[in-house]
Every structure is written in C-alpha cells, then in structure tokens.
Amino acid sequence: MKKRVVIIGAGHGGVQAASTLREDGFEGEIVLISDESDAPYQKPPLSKGYLQGKQTAQAILFRSANYYNDNEIDLQLGVRVNHIYTQENQIELSDGSKLDYDYLIVATGACNRKLLFHGKIAEKIYYLRNFTDAKVIEEKINPARHIVIIGGGFIGLELAALAIEKEKKVTVIETEDRLMKRVLPEALSKVFYDTHKAHGVEMLLGVSVVDVIDGKTIKLNDGKTLETDLVLAGIGVIVETELTENSDISFDDGIVVNGFQQSNIPNVYAIGDCANHYNPFAKKSLRLESVQNAVDQAKVAASHIMGKPIEYNTVPWFWTNQYHLKLQMAGISFGFEEAIIRQSPKPDRFSVYYFRKEKLIAVDSLNRPADHLNARKLLAAGISPTKQQVEDFDFKLNSLLID
Ligand SMILES: Cc1cc2nc3c(=O)[nH]c(=O)nc-3n(C[C@H](O)[C@H](O)[C@H](O)COP(=O)(O)OP(=O)(O)OC[C@H]3O[C@@H](n4cnc5c(N)ncnc54)[C@H](O)[C@@H]3O)c2cc1C
C-alpha cells in the first residue's frame, strides 16, 4: 500500500517538504493543502519587490503552474484544515470531509498579532502576511498621502521604505526607544534610524498607540493625536492554536518538536514558523520566523519520513532590505557577551560579530554580503576568529576556513 503524506500549509516549509520528498524518491501520495486561493508564492518579496512594483505576482511564485501536476503533488488551494484527529490519523477539511494520512506535516506558519483597543480588535488597520493582504495594501497605499506605520520592526520598516519610494509622507510609531531593538544592537538601529530620517520618515520612538479611530485618527499615550489616510501595522506574529486545540499534540507557543521535527505524536511533524524546537545555535527552545528555518526544517522532516534521518542543525540566517541598506544576519546573537564591529572604510558597510565566552555566535552584516557568507561557513564549522582578528579589517577571516 502506498503511503500518504499530508502537508498542511503551502508556504516556504510546505512546498519545500513536498519537493524534497519527491526529489528523495518518495513514491507515495503527497497532498499539499493551502487555505489560500493563490498558487504558492514567496513571502519576503511582498514587503520588498512586489509592493515596490519591481516584481510581478508571477515572479514570486515558488514553482511553475504545472510543477505540482508533473510531480504528482496534489495541491489543494482554498481548503482549510480545521482539525487533526491523531488517534484516527485523519484531518478534517473546511468542507467537513475527512482525509487519512500516514504522515502529517504541519506547516501552517504564523499570523499577525492584531492591535486591541478597549478589548476589541481595531478596525481599518492593515497588516501584511499574505498575498491577499499585499493586494489590499497596494490598493490602499496608492491614493494615500500620509501613511502611519505602527511598529518599527522589519516589516514595518520595509513598508516605510517602500512608501517613501512612492513619495508618501510616512510616520513610524515604535514603543521601544530604538528600531528593531529586540534583534539588533544599537549601532545597527542607529544606521536604520538615520537612513529613514534622511529619507524623510517621521520617527516617533518610545511612544505607544492607545487608540485608532476609523483608521484615520491615532491617539498616542503622550496625549498627542495624529490624523492620517492609512494605518499599517507590523507588531509581530503569533501561532494559531485552533488546529491543535482539543488534540493531543503538545503546544507551547508553537507545536513542540524534537530534532527531527516530530511532535509528541510520532507521525505528526511541524516545520517553520509554527514549530517550537530546540535550536543548537541559540542553545534554547524557540520558534524562528525565517525562510531558512522553514526550508531547512522541511528537509529534516522529509528525510525522517524517508528513513534517512538528519537532525536539524543549520545556521539560522535572515535578511532585510530597506533603501540601499541590506542587512544579513547569521546565527543568533541572543545572550551575547561582547559585540565587535568590523568596520569597512566605506560608510554603511560593516559587520557586528557577537561573542559568548570567546566563541563567535552570530554576525550581522550591513552591505557586506561576503562577510555574511563567511560568517555562515564559520558558524557551521564551529570556527571562531579571535576578537583581534575581527577588529583587524586587513585580516582575511575566510583564511580560517582553509584547512
Ligand atoms: C511580508 C513578509 C516579509 C518577510 N520577509 C522575510 C525576509 O526578508 N527574510 C526571511 O527569512 N523571512 C521573511 N519573512 C518570514 C518568512 O516569510 C516566514 O518565516 C516563512 O514564510 C515561514 O514559512 P512557513 O512555511 O512556516 O509558513 P508560511 O510561509 O507562512 O506558510 C504557511 C501557510 O499555511 C497556511 N495555513 C495556515 N493555517 C492553515 C490551515 N489550517 N489549513 C490550510 N492552510 C493553512 C497559511 O495561509 C500559509 O499559506 C517575511 C514574512 C512576511 C509576511
């Protein structure tokens, strides 16, 4: 009897899992279910090339239209999975029908955290998570003159940069006292702050929004009020609990998985944004929200199903593009003890090397793609330069990679 793998979610993780299974010779059925009606596409370009008008909808698709048929991947679009019955090895679909599985891969990602005022989700605030959101935002941005963006994180700031390119007046409101504080050191926050300011963004830091009325009037905790045409927000994501609620799948801010992406139910795997895993680079359990993580965890789950297990142990990496600034992050800087800046003679080009107990744990590179690639190799090989080598711009760090 042929086995059936059902994959819930056709984002970065889900599509990769289906492809890897086929590439690795899986001969059974693959059912790839997406609650979105659009053919599977990449998410990072939504807040970059797509909304900038530089990439078309077609250009951001993962695969050509016939890929799924050609590879016998049963792609079901516009279908939501409502429940998982682990005892019966069955899922329930939005039309009430049931589908059996031998292996289940949950790749459902995360969804936007919404702003609540007076105990209610505020209306007429637009968030970006999927292609439908992008189309709505595209329509709203074009006629707007003044756009307020709540949240000075990656997505909020990418939206600010592209709205500036569209010659809009832009205000960013951030509760913290600096941009991207959760993930970046002060030196990098400052470059992004200075660049956004230089492009004309009004930055309100250390300020919270206490109410948004009719998507037009924004009340701040310092008593001030802003009037605007459009409110966008990027204030983080959460993993929906709906799918695993009332099931016996362990959940703790995400589906809890082992190093092979298996949940506590051995034939139920979770990958990508929705998977809470022990990360050997962070040395703790967490969820990562990145393409790298979704893609690499998909390969791990597929390899386990194919009986050739490889444990998840890849260097985390991420990127953001804003104006001429391209920031690439390798490793996880959480818990660092010392951060050393390796400054290139050119402006806005440097890398920050993070050390814990004399060991390199992460590198953030600003407009230094070669540093980023070397960092990924150094971290993967567990090779640590000394702090003196990092400080010495003439020392070639990639020489450490040569045997
Ligand atoms: C605007 C934007 C910009 C980003 N930029 C970057 C970047 O520059 N670099 C980077 O590394 N990462 C970036 N990310 C994050 C990255 O896209 C995610 O980490 C990645 O998509 C996670 O992949 P995933 O497979 O876990 O989930 P997703 O790609 O989100 O896919 C999950 C899919 O599952 C579907 N789904 C959910 N529940 C169900 C259900 N019950 N039934 C059926 N289908 C369901 C969802 O609709 C979705 O299509 C960005 C994200 C966004 C939104």
Sign of CA dihedral 62, 65, 67, 68: positive
Protein residue whose Cα sits closest to atom 10 of ligand 1:
290
Q: Looking at residue 31, which CATH number applies to its domain?
A: 3.50.50.60
User: How many CB atoms are located within 10 Å of the residue 310 CB?
Assistant: 14
Ligand 1 atom at minimal distance to the Cα of residue 128: 1
Asked if the model's pLDDT at residue 118 lies above 70, the reply is yes
Is residue 312 one of the residues assigned to a domain?
Answer: no
159 shares a domain with 78: no
* 315 in a structural domain: no
The C-alpha atoms of residue 332 and residue 314 are separated, in whole angstroms, by 12
Q: Write phi, then psi, for 29 (nearest 5 degrees).
A: -85, 145
State in Å: Cα 388 to ligand 1 middle: 40
- Render pLDDT for 19-75 as a digit per residue (tens, 0 to 9): 999 999 999 999 999 999 999 999 999 999 999 999 999 999 999 989 999 999 999
The type of residue at 174 is E
The answer to whether the CB of 82 falls within 8 A of the CB of 94 is: yes
Query: Model confidence at 246, in pLDDT bands (50, 70, 90)?
Result: confident
Q: Do 160 and 127 fall into the same domain?
A: yes
In a domain, 47, yes or no: no
Q: How many domains does the chain have?
A: 3
Residue 87 inside a domain? The answer is yes
Ligand 1 contact, 80 CB (< 6 A)? yes
0.85 exceeded by the pTM? yes
In short, whether 8's Cβ falls inside 6 Å of ligand 1 is yes
Looking at the fold, whether 227 and 124 belong to one and the same domain comes out as yes
Q: Give residue 9 CA to ligand 1 midpoint distance, Å.
A: 9
> Which of 193, 210, 233 finishes a domain?
233
Longest dimension (CA), the chain: 67
Ligand 1 center from residue 299 Cα (angstroms): 16
Q: Is the CB of 36 inside a 6 Å radius of any atom of ligand 1?
A: yes
Atom of ligand 1 minimally distant from the CA of 9: 34
16 lines ligand 1 (CB under 6 A): no
Q: What is the pLDDT of residues 17-33, one digit of tens each?
A: 999 999 999 999 999 99
The residue-averaged pLDDT of 128-139 equals 98
Which amino acid belongs to residue 61?
A: L
Residue 335's CATH number:
3.30.390.30
- Residue 182 belongs to some domain of the structure: yes
Domain shared by 84 and 24, yes or no: yes
Query: Is 49 inside a domain boundary?
Result: no
Q: Do 163 and 192 sit in the same domain of this protein?
A: yes
pLDDT for 117: 96
- 191-212 pLDDT, tens per residue? 999 999 999 999 999 999 999 9
Residue 297 beta carbon below 6 angstroms from any ligand 1 atom: no
Q: Which of 207, 233, 259 is the last residue of a domain?
A: 233
Local structure of residue 261 (DSSP, 8 states): S
Ligand 1: distance of its center to the CA of 173 in Å? Answer: 25
Decide if 191 is inside a domain: yes
**pLDDT band, residue 403 (cuts 50/70/90):** low
Is the shortest distance between the CB of 91 and ligand 1 below 6 Å? no
Has residue 208 been placed in a domain?
Answer: yes
Residues 207 and 130 in one domain: yes
Q: What is the number of the ligand 1 atom nearest to the C-alpha of 130? A: 53
Assess whether the C-beta atom of 31 lies below 6 angstroms from ligand 1. no
Q: Do 193 and 254 share a domain, yes or no?
A: no
Q: Which atom of ligand 1 is nearest to the CA of 243?
A: 41
| pLDDT confidence bin for 347, thresholds 50/70/90 | confident
Q: Is residue 68 packed enough to be buried (19+ CB in 10 Å), middle (13-18) or exposed (0-12)?
A: buried
377 ligand 1 Cβ < 6 A: no
Nearest ligand 1 atom, CA 292: 11
Structure tokens belonging to residue 106: 């949950």
Q: State yes or no: pLDDT of 328 exceeds 90.
A: yes
Question: At which of 173, 203, 233 does a domain end?
Answer: 233
Percent pLDDT > 90 in the chain is: 97
- Model pLDDT for residues 248-286, shown as the tens digit of each residue: 999 999 999 999 999 999 999 999 999 999 999 999 999
Residues near 10 by beta carbon (within 8 Å), at least 6 away in sequence: 18, 32, 33, 34, 36, 40, 75, 77, 107
**What is the model's pLDDT at position 402?**
78
Q: Are residues 291 and 187 in the same domain?
A: no
Residue 155, ligand 1, Cβ within 6 A: yes
Gyration radius (Cα) of the chain, Å:
22
Q: What amino acid occupies position 70?
A: D
Range of the domain at 198: 116-233
29 CA to middle of ligand 1, Å? Answer: 24
Phi, psi of 125 (to 5 degrees): -120, 130
Residue 279 and residue 381 in one domain: no
What are the DSSP E strand ranges found in 237-391?
237-238, 255-256, 268-270, 275-279, 284-286, 317-322, 325-331, 338-343, 350-356, 359-366
Strands 225-227 and 217-220: antiparallel
- 376 in helix, strand or coil? helix
